Amino acid sequence: MTNKIDYFEIGSPDPDVSKAFYGALFDWEIEDPTGPAPYRMVDEARGGLWDTSDMGAANWAIFYVRVENVHGALDQALRLGATVAIPFTDNGGIEFAHLLDPLGNRFGIWRPKTP
């Protein structure tokens, strides 16, 4: 299923504070990072908490739209006035990018590399 919102992510320079806040507010289970990436799964993999302390300490809360073709959606978004926040990234299991719409709202596009 493409062009549907199906994931969210919180970028935080202090993931322990974010984990405490969102965990208490929404009763979410937020896992500890399981691999080398500073990333924690949220609420049974419905979302993620990304430690941004080593990448400029950015803050964000975004939604992701699953697309058929990340490069194609990225090109179309740029033609429509978006700018790139995090360029096309292939992390092995997924491809994604973060964009800013013409008003500065951050969102993500992604696709799994295997169905």
The domain limits of the chain are 4-112
Written as one string, the DSSP assignment of 39-67 is EEEETTTTEEEEE-TTTT---EEEEEEE-
pLDDT tens digits along 2-52:
889 889 999 999 999 999 999 999 999 999 888 888 899 998 888 999 999
What is the value of pTM for the model shown?
Answer: 0.81
Q: Class assignment of domain 4-112?
A: alpha beta
Asked if the model's pLDDT at residue 115 lies above 90, the reply is: no
Cβ-proximal residues to 40 (8 Å cutoff; 6+ apart), any chain: 15, 19, 30, 31, 32, 33, 48, 49, 50, 51
* Tens digit of each residue's pLDDT (9 = 90 or more) over 75-89: 999 999 999 999 999
Per the prediction, the chain carries an average pLDDT of: 92
